[in-house]
Protein backbone atom coordinates (compact mmCIF):
# COMPACT_ATOMS: atom_id res chain seq x y z
CA UNK A 1 0.00 0.00 0.00
CA UNK A 2 1.27 3.41 -0.89
CA UNK A 3 0.64 6.27 1.55
CA UNK A 4 1.33 9.98 1.42
CA UNK A 5 2.08 11.70 4.72
CA UNK A 6 1.69 15.50 4.53
CA UNK A 7 2.89 16.76 7.92
CA UNK A 8 5.01 19.81 8.68
CA UNK A 9 6.47 18.56 11.95
CA UNK A 10 9.81 17.03 11.06
CA UNK A 11 9.71 14.77 14.08
CA UNK A 12 6.22 13.45 13.27
CA UNK A 13 7.28 12.93 9.65
CA UNK A 14 10.14 10.88 10.94
CA UNK A 15 8.38 8.80 13.61
CA UNK A 16 5.04 8.25 11.85
CA UNK A 17 6.78 7.63 8.51
CA UNK A 18 9.10 5.11 10.14
CA UNK A 19 6.24 3.37 11.94
CA UNK A 20 4.15 3.10 8.78
CA UNK A 21 7.09 1.77 6.80
CA UNK A 22 7.79 -0.76 9.52
CA UNK A 23 4.14 -1.76 9.27
CA UNK A 24 4.70 -2.52 5.62
CA UNK A 25 3.52 0.58 3.86
CA UNK A 26 5.34 2.56 1.23
CA UNK A 27 5.27 6.09 2.53
CA UNK A 28 6.02 9.35 0.74
CA UNK A 29 6.50 12.28 3.09
CA UNK A 30 6.32 16.04 2.63
CA UNK A 31 5.98 18.97 4.98
CA UNK A 32 4.68 21.50 2.47
CA UNK A 33 1.09 21.90 1.28
CA UNK A 34 1.97 22.80 -2.31
CA UNK A 35 4.30 19.84 -2.67
CA UNK A 36 1.74 17.59 -0.99
CA UNK A 37 -0.91 18.61 -3.51
CA UNK A 38 1.48 18.01 -6.38
CA UNK A 39 2.42 14.55 -5.05
CA UNK A 40 -1.23 13.63 -4.46
CA UNK A 41 -2.12 14.59 -8.00
CA UNK A 42 0.91 12.94 -9.57
CA UNK A 43 0.68 9.54 -7.84
CA UNK A 44 -1.96 6.99 -7.02
CA UNK A 45 -1.91 6.68 -3.26
CA UNK A 46 -4.11 4.35 -1.28
CA UNK A 47 -4.39 6.79 1.62
CA UNK A 48 -3.24 10.37 2.26
CA UNK A 49 -2.53 11.37 5.86
CA UNK A 50 -3.03 15.13 5.94
CA UNK A 51 -2.17 17.76 8.56
CA UNK A 52 -4.30 20.92 8.39
CA UNK A 53 -1.87 23.64 9.40
CA UNK A 54 0.71 23.53 6.67
CA UNK A 55 3.10 25.98 5.09
CA UNK A 56 2.31 26.71 1.45
CA UNK A 57 -1.37 25.89 1.31
CA UNK A 58 -3.32 24.66 4.29
CA UNK A 59 -4.69 21.15 4.52
CA UNK A 60 -8.34 22.03 3.89
CA UNK A 61 -7.48 23.99 0.73
CA UNK A 62 -5.33 21.11 -0.44
CA UNK A 63 -8.19 18.67 0.14
CA UNK A 64 -10.69 20.96 -1.58
CA UNK A 65 -8.45 21.25 -4.66
CA UNK A 66 -7.89 17.51 -4.68
CA UNK A 67 -11.61 16.77 -4.61
CA UNK A 68 -12.26 19.46 -7.20
CA UNK A 69 -9.98 17.47 -9.53
CA UNK A 70 -12.12 14.37 -8.81
CA UNK A 71 -9.27 12.71 -6.95
CA UNK A 72 -10.97 10.04 -4.81
CA UNK A 73 -7.97 8.97 -2.73
CA UNK A 74 -8.96 8.29 0.87
CA UNK A 75 -7.81 11.13 3.13
CA UNK A 76 -7.24 10.91 6.86
CA UNK A 77 -6.86 14.29 8.54
CA UNK A 78 -4.31 14.24 11.36
CA UNK A 79 -4.34 17.53 13.22
CA UNK A 80 -4.20 19.34 16.55
CA UNK A 81 -7.38 21.21 15.64
CA UNK A 82 -9.94 19.54 17.82
CA UNK A 83 -13.10 21.65 17.80
CA UNK A 84 -16.39 20.32 16.49
CA UNK A 85 -16.34 22.98 13.76
CA UNK A 86 -12.88 21.87 12.64
CA UNK A 87 -13.90 18.20 12.52
CA UNK A 88 -17.13 18.94 10.64
CA UNK A 89 -15.31 21.23 8.19
CA UNK A 90 -12.66 18.56 7.57
CA UNK A 91 -15.16 15.78 6.91
CA UNK A 92 -17.45 18.00 4.86
CA UNK A 93 -14.55 19.12 2.69
CA UNK A 94 -14.00 15.50 1.68
CA UNK A 95 -11.91 13.79 4.34
CA UNK A 96 -12.72 10.16 5.04
CA UNK A 97 -11.46 10.17 8.60
CA UNK A 98 -10.27 12.63 11.25
CA UNK A 99 -7.76 11.94 13.99
CA UNK A 100 -6.72 14.48 16.61
CA UNK A 101 -3.19 14.92 17.88
CA UNK A 102 -1.90 13.56 20.16
CA UNK A 103 -2.92 10.13 18.93
CA UNK A 104 -2.09 6.48 19.53
CA UNK A 105 0.05 5.13 16.72
CA UNK A 106 -1.90 1.84 16.81
CA UNK A 107 -5.11 3.79 16.22
CA UNK A 108 -3.57 5.63 13.29
CA UNK A 109 -2.39 2.31 11.88
CA UNK A 110 -5.84 0.74 12.31
CA UNK A 111 -7.54 3.69 10.63
CA UNK A 112 -5.07 3.61 7.74
CA UNK A 113 -5.69 -0.13 7.33
CA UNK A 114 -9.44 0.44 7.34
CA UNK A 115 -9.12 3.12 4.68
CA UNK A 116 -6.88 0.85 2.60
CA UNK A 117 -9.53 -1.89 2.78
CA UNK A 118 -12.13 0.61 1.71
CA UNK A 119 -9.93 1.42 -1.30
CA UNK A 120 -10.56 -2.13 -2.49
CA UNK A 121 -14.19 -2.32 -1.35
CA UNK A 122 -13.39 -4.78 1.41
CA UNK A 123 -14.63 -4.84 4.95
CA UNK A 124 -13.04 -8.06 6.16
CA UNK A 125 -9.39 -7.70 7.12
CA UNK A 126 -8.84 -11.35 6.20
CA UNK A 127 -8.29 -12.37 2.60
CA UNK A 128 -8.68 -16.04 1.72
CA UNK A 129 -7.55 -17.36 -1.64
CA UNK A 130 -7.80 -21.12 -1.74
CA UNK A 131 -5.59 -22.43 1.01
CA UNK A 132 -3.85 -19.04 1.41
CA UNK A 133 -4.94 -16.76 4.27
CA UNK A 134 -3.78 -13.17 4.61
CA UNK A 135 -4.64 -11.24 7.78
CA UNK A 136 -4.18 -7.50 7.15
CA UNK A 137 -4.55 -6.64 10.83
CA UNK A 138 -2.08 -9.05 12.39
CA UNK A 139 0.08 -9.01 9.22
CA UNK A 140 0.16 -12.83 9.23
CA UNK A 141 0.10 -15.16 6.23
CA UNK A 142 -0.78 -18.86 6.40
CA UNK A 143 -0.88 -21.52 3.72
CA UNK A 144 -2.69 -24.69 4.52
CA UNK A 145 -2.80 -23.35 8.09
CA UNK A 146 0.97 -23.11 8.25
CA UNK A 147 2.42 -19.65 9.07
CA UNK A 148 4.69 -18.14 6.46
CA UNK A 149 7.34 -15.65 7.54
CA UNK A 150 7.35 -12.61 5.23
CA UNK A 151 9.12 -9.27 5.41
CA UNK A 152 6.96 -6.13 5.55
CA UNK A 153 7.53 -5.43 1.87
CA UNK A 154 6.81 -9.03 0.86
CA UNK A 155 3.59 -8.91 2.88
CA UNK A 156 2.65 -5.65 1.19
CA UNK A 157 3.33 -7.14 -2.24
CA UNK A 158 1.28 -10.26 -1.48
CA UNK A 159 -1.56 -8.23 0.03
CA UNK A 160 -1.62 -5.94 -3.00
CA UNK A 161 -1.69 -8.85 -5.46
CA UNK A 162 -4.37 -10.55 -3.35
CA UNK A 163 -6.51 -7.40 -3.23
CA UNK A 164 -6.35 -7.38 -7.02
CA UNK A 165 -6.77 -11.12 -7.39
CA UNK A 166 -7.75 -12.27 -10.84
CA UNK A 167 -6.33 -9.11 -12.40
CA UNK A 168 -2.98 -8.68 -14.06
CA UNK A 169 -0.94 -6.18 -12.07
CA UNK A 170 1.83 -4.47 -13.97
CA UNK A 171 5.35 -3.93 -12.66
CA UNK A 172 4.74 -0.15 -12.73
CA UNK A 173 1.68 -0.52 -10.53
CA UNK A 174 3.60 -2.68 -8.11
CA UNK A 175 6.41 -0.14 -8.00
CA UNK A 176 3.92 2.66 -7.39
CA UNK A 177 2.20 0.83 -4.54
CA UNK A 178 5.03 -0.91 -2.84
CA UNK A 179 7.93 1.47 -3.17
CA UNK A 180 7.93 5.05 -1.96
CA UNK A 181 9.40 7.95 -3.94
CA UNK A 182 12.46 7.93 -1.72
CA UNK A 183 13.26 4.35 -2.62
CA UNK A 184 15.47 3.91 -5.62
CA UNK A 185 13.82 1.13 -7.57
CA UNK A 186 16.18 -1.03 -9.56
CA UNK A 187 14.92 -2.28 -12.92
CA UNK A 188 14.52 -5.89 -11.78
CA UNK A 189 13.59 -5.27 -8.15
CA UNK A 190 9.93 -6.11 -8.69
CA UNK A 191 10.77 -9.35 -10.52
CA UNK A 192 13.17 -10.35 -7.75
CA UNK A 193 10.62 -9.52 -5.04
CA UNK A 194 7.88 -11.50 -6.78
CA UNK A 195 10.23 -14.41 -7.33
CA UNK A 196 11.20 -14.46 -3.66
CA UNK A 197 7.59 -14.15 -2.53
CA UNK A 198 6.49 -16.92 -4.85
CA UNK A 199 9.15 -19.16 -3.42
CA UNK A 200 8.10 -18.42 0.18
CA UNK A 201 4.40 -19.07 -0.31
CA UNK A 202 4.82 -22.17 -2.42
CA UNK A 203 5.02 -25.00 0.07
CA UNK A 204 5.86 -28.59 -0.90
CA UNK A 205 2.78 -30.12 -2.44
CA UNK A 206 1.13 -26.80 -3.27
CA UNK A 207 0.81 -25.19 -6.66
CA UNK A 208 2.21 -21.71 -7.31
CA UNK A 209 -0.54 -19.11 -7.14
CA UNK A 210 1.36 -16.11 -8.51
CA UNK A 211 1.56 -16.39 -12.27
CA UNK A 212 3.70 -14.33 -14.61
CA UNK A 213 2.03 -12.83 -17.67
CA UNK A 214 4.91 -12.15 -19.94
CA UNK A 215 5.14 -8.53 -21.00
CA UNK A 216 2.18 -7.59 -18.82
CA UNK A 217 2.87 -8.34 -15.18
CA UNK A 218 1.67 -10.74 -12.50
CA UNK A 219 -1.63 -12.27 -11.50
CA UNK A 220 -2.62 -14.01 -8.26
CA UNK A 221 -5.22 -16.73 -8.70
CA UNK A 222 -6.40 -19.70 -6.72
CA UNK A 223 -4.23 -22.70 -7.36
CA UNK A 224 -5.64 -24.83 -10.16
CA UNK A 225 -6.57 -28.30 -9.01
Partner 1 sequence: MSSIQRRLTLALAGLCCVLWFGGAAAAYLAMRHGLILEFDYAHITDVNSLSNMTEQSPAGLKFDSTGEYMPTFRREDHPDYFQLWETDGTVLYRSPALEGDLPQRAGTLAVPKFWDVTLPDGEKGRAVGVRFVPNEDDEILRPAGAPPLTKEVILVAAFHRQELDQRLRYIGMVLLLGGLGMAAAAIVAVGFIVRRGLRPLSAVADRAAAIDASSLQLRFPTENLPAELLPIATRLNDLLARLESSFARERRFSADVAHELRTPIAELRALAEVALKWPEDRQATQHVLQDALAIALQMETVATGLMALARCEGNLLTVRPERVAIPALIQDVLTPLTARAGDKQLDITLDLPKEACWYTDAAALRSIVANLLTNAIDYSPTASPIRVRLCKNGAGEELSIINQNTYLAPEDLPHLFEQFWRKDPARSSQLNSGLGLALAKAYAQSLGLKLQAELNHAEIVFTLSGATACNDANG
Residues binding partner 1 (CB under 8 A): 8-12, 14-16, 18-19, 22, 31, 33, 53-55, 58, 80-82, 101-106
Closest CB to partner 1 among residues 109, 219: 109
How does 122-136 read in b/e, with b if 16+ C-beta sit within 10 Å? eeeeebebebbbbbb
CB count within 10 Å of CB 171 equals 17
What is the distance between the alpha carbons of residues 88 and 35, in angstroms, rounded to a whole number? 25
Handedness of CA 15, 21, 25, 28 (dihedral sign): positive
3-state secondary structure of 188: coil
Distance of CA 64 to the CA centre of its chain: 22
Vertex 45: Cα angle to 53 and 93 (nearest 5): 45
CB 49 within 8 A of CB 4: yes
- Give 149 or 187: the residue with its C-beta nearer to partner 1: 149
Nearer to partner 1, 36 or 217 (CB): 36
Considering beta carbons, is residue 18 or 44 the nearer one to partner 1?
18
Count CB-CB contacts under 10 A for residue 42. 9
Please check whether residue 193 is in contact with residue 153, taking contact to mean a CB–CB distance below 8 angstroms. Answer: yes
Q: Which is nearer to partner 1, 77 or 169 (CB)?
A: 77
Residue nearer to partner 1 on the CB measure, 35 or 58: 58
Amino acid sequence: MHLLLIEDSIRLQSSVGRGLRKAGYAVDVTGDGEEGLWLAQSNRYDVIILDLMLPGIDGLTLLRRLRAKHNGTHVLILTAKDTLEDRVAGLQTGADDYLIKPFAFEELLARVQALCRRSYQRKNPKIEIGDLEIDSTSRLVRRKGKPIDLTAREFMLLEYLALRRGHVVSRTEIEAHIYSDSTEVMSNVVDSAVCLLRRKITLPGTAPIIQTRRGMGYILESARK
